[in-house]
Amino acid sequence: MSFCSSVARKPLFWLTSALSLLVSLYGLANVMPAIGDFRLGPFPMIFFRATFFALCVLVVLLGFLSAGEKRQPTWVMLVGGLLSVGLIWSCWSFYDVSIMLDESMFLFGSHEMWIALLASAGALFFCWRIWGAPVALLGIFGIAYMATGHLWPGPLKTVSGSVEETLAQNLLYSLDAGILGSTFSVVITTVFPFIILGAVLEGVGAGDSMIRIAFSWMRRAAGGPAHAAVLSSALFGTVSGSAVGNVVGTGVVTIPMIKRRGFTSNFAGAVEAAASTGGQIMPPIMGAAALVMADFVGVSYLTVIVAILVPSIAYYCSLFAMILFETRRLGIKATTATESDLDRPTRQDYLNLLLIFLPLALIVTLLVAGLSPSGASISALALLFPLSLINPAVRAQPARLLKCLCDGGSTFAQLLMAIAAVSIVISALSVTGVPVKFGTLLSSMVTDSLMLSLIAAAACCIILGMGMPTLPAYVTVATIAIPAMQQLGLEPLTAHLFVFLIAVASAITPPVAIAAYAAASISGGRPIATSVQASKVGIMIFIIPFIFAYNPLLLIVEQAGAAFELMPWLWLIVKLALGIYLLATALTGFDRTKLRPFEIALRLGATFLLFVPDAGWDLAGFALAAVLCLGHYWTQSKTVYSKVFQQ
C-alpha cells in the first residue's frame, strides 16, 4: 500500500503524520541558517521550547493510539491521554512562569511543584513505555532523592532548602535544568537536524542497496554473510543512529543468511548485534552523540569525528578478524554460489550510494569550512532532496520524501521522551552533587591505580547505560562519570570518548543487552547467550577505550592530550593490529589449527603486555607474540608436511 493511500484510509494515521511532519518542519525552521537577508528562526526561546515539546507529546500520544502490532493496551492509552493533557498544561505553565521570571521575581510554591511533578510523571511514563524501565527508574529515583536528600545520613545528605522550590525549578521551571533545560536545548538545536537527515537518508532507498553491495563484495569470503553483515552495518550505522534500528534494518536480511552458511543462531545474532552497535561509533553521525559531545567538551564536531576515526575502524577490523577465525574453527569454506534470496547489485544500487556519501561528504566539507553542525546538516538535507530523484522509486513516488520527514519527526518525538527523563536525572545529579561524590568515592577507592579506577568507571558506565538508546546513555553516564575521569588525569575529550564507547557497549553487555535481544528475536537464539557471544565478538569496544586512555596519541588530535607524531603513532597502530589478531585467535581458540589452553593464555598475556604503559613492556609483548605465532605456524607446517609425506 502506498503512503498516499495509507493517508487516505486512516484518519488517525493522517493526523499523526501531519503532526510528525509539523515537528520536522518547525524544528528545522528554528535552526535554518540565513539565506541572504531571509531567515525563519531562531524563534523566541521560551515560546519555542514549550510549543515544540507539546507537539512532540501529541505525536507520541497519537502513536500510542494508532492501530497496528505495537498498539498499546487500553489502560496505557487512557493514562497516556491524561498525562498528555498534564504535559501540555505544564508547557503552558512553563511559558507563563518563564515570562514572569524575565520581568520580575517569582516565588515558587506548592502549585508549581505539583505541576513540575505532573510534567515529570508524564515524561517518565512515556519514556518507560517507549524505551523501557531503566532510564525511567533512574528518573524516579532522581526525583525522590531530590525531594528527600536533606534527610539522608552521612555523605548522602544534600543541602537543606525549600523542597517546593527545588523540585519546581529543577524539574521544569528553568532554562538551564529540567525537562526543558539546557540538555533539551542542545538536542533540539544540534542533534535534531541530524535525526531528520538520518531518517531521510534511510528512507530514500540506499539501505537495501548497501546490503546488496556488501553481500556482493563478500560473497567469495568463507564467512561471506557474516562479513557482509559487518560491512553493511558499518555503512548503515552512519545513517541509522540507533543500534536496535541498525539490527532491525539489516539483521532481517543478514542473520538468516549467516545461519545458512553454517554459523550458530547465537553467533549469527551476536555478529549483527556487535556490528550494529559499532555503527554508533562510526563517523560522521555516531548516533548523534558526537554533536552533544562536541558541545560538552567545547571542541569542534570535526575534532570529535577525527578522534573517533581510528578506534571505529579498529573495532570493525576486530569484528572481521573474529569472524575469520570462527569460520576456520567451524571448517566453513568459501563458496562462489550466489544467494538465491538476495539479488546481485545493479548499476542503480551503486548510484544509490551517492545518496549516502555525497551528503556526508558535504557535511564534512562544511564542518572543515567552519559552518555549524546544524547548518551543515540542513545543507546536506537541501542537497539530498533533489539528489534523491536519481532513485526511480523516489521519482515514481515523491511522497516518500514527506514520509521520511514524518518518520524523522516521529523518531525524534520518541527520543525526546528519553531526553526528558535523562534531563530529570541530570537535574537531580546537579542539585544533589552526586557526580562530585562519585568522583571522590572513586578516587578514595583506587587512588594509586589508574587501571583500577578506569575499570571501576567503566563498570559504572555499563550499568548506567543498560537499556538506554545511545544518546541518553551517553548523556547520563557522562554527567556522573566525567568529573571522576578528569580527576584521574584524562583530558576532557579523552574522558568523554572513554565514557561514550563504554556506554555504547552496554547495548551488547548482558544482562540488559538491547541490541543483542533484538538480534536474538530475529535469529531464534537465546537472548542471554547471544549477548554473551556478542560481548566476545565485540570485545574490542571494551578494550579500545583503555588503550587510548593510556595512549591518547591513538585519537590523533591534540585535544586528547598528546601531540601527534607519525612514527610513535604508526608503532601504536602496529601494536593495535597485532593485539586484534592475538585476541581474535585466543577467544575463538583457533588460528591455523586449534590452540591449546596454554597457547590461549600466552596470547592473552602478550596482548596485555603490548599495551602496558611502562616502557619496554610493549617490546616484550611483541617478542612473545612473534615467538607464539612463528611457533604455531612452524608446528602447523610441520604437521602438513608430515601428512603429505605419509601419503
**pLDDT tens across 363-377, in order?**
888 877 877 778 888
Average pLDDT across the chain, whole number: 83
Q: Give the pLDDT score at 70.
A: 60
CB 234 within 8 A of CB 275: yes
Chain position carrying cell 607464539: 628
- Per residue in 331-343, pLDDT (tens digit) is 887 665 544 455 6
Domain-located, residue 224: no
Instruction: List the grid coordinates of 423.
Output: 534531563
Of 480, 548, 527, 477, nearest in space to 506 by CA: 477
CB 566 within 8 A of CB 347: no
CB 180 within 8 A of CB 188: no
Number of CB atoms found within 10 A of residue 375's CB: 18
Q: What percent of the chain has pLDDT over 70?
A: 88
> Among 121-125, 163-167, 611-615, whose mean pLDDT is lowest?
611-615
Confidence check: pLDDT of 444 > 70: no
Confidence check: pLDDT of 8 > 50: no
Domain-located, residue 173: yes
Give the domain extent around 134. Answer: 3-178
Q: Give the pLDDT score at 71.
A: 67
Could you say which of 160, 178, 196 is where a domain stops?
178
Instruction: List the grid coordinates of 547.
Output: 588503550
Which residue type occupies 279? G
DSSP string for residues in 65-90: HS-STTPPPHHHHHHHHHHHHHHHHH
pLDDT class for 19, splitting at 50, 70, 90? very high
Give the bridge partners for 35, in sequence order.
38
Domain-located, residue 274: no
Q: What is the dihedral of CA 201, 203, 208, 213, to 10 degrees?
A: -20
- Per residue in 41-68, pLDDT (tens digit) is 789 999 999 999 999 999 999 988 875 5
Q: What is the enclosing helix (H) or strand (E) of 293?
A: helix 289-297
Could you say which of 178, 210, 225 is where a domain stops?
178
pLDDT (average), residues 567-584: 94
Secondary structure letter of residue 591 according to DSSP: S
pLDDT (average), residues 175-188: 87
Chain position carrying cell 574490542: 540
pLDDT (average), residues 527-538: 92
Q: Give the pLDDT score at 340.
A: 45
pLDDT class for 261, splitting at 50, 70, 90? confident
Domain-located, residue 514: no
Domain-located, residue 339: no
pLDDT class for 436, splitting at 50, 70, 90? low
At a CB cut-off of 8 Å and minimum separation 6, what does 490 contact? 498, 549, 561
Q: Give the pLDDT score at 339.
A: 47
Of 318, 312, 279, 319, nearest in space to 554 by CA: 312
Domain-located, residue 194: no
Confidence check: pLDDT of 3 > 70: no
Of 122, 103, 99, nearest in space to 49 by CA: 99
Predicted TM-score (pTM) of the model is: 0.82
Higher pLDDT, 20 or 2: 20
Instruction: List the grid coordinates of 385.
Output: 532532496
CB 294 within 8 A of CB 373: yes
Q: Give the pLDDT score at 87.
A: 95
Domain-located, residue 58: yes
CB 190 within 8 A of CB 295: yes
Domain-located, residue 583: yes
Instruction: List the grid coordinates of 286.
Output: 555516531
For the four alpha carbons of 46, 51, 57 and 60, in that order, the dihedral sign comes to negative
> Among 104-108, 388-392, 473-477, whose mean pLDDT is lowest?
104-108
Domains in the chain, number: 2
35: three-class secondary structure by DSSP: strand
Rg (CA), the chain: 26
**107/290 Cα distance (integer angstroms):** 38
Q: Could you check whether the bond before residue 42 is cis, i.e. omega within 30 degrees of 0?
A: yes
Could you say which of 178, 208, 227 is where a domain stops?
178
pLDDT class for 186, splitting at 50, 70, 90? confident
Confidence check: pLDDT of 440 > 90: no
CB 502 within 8 A of CB 458: yes
Instruction: List the grid coordinates of 529.
Output: 547467550
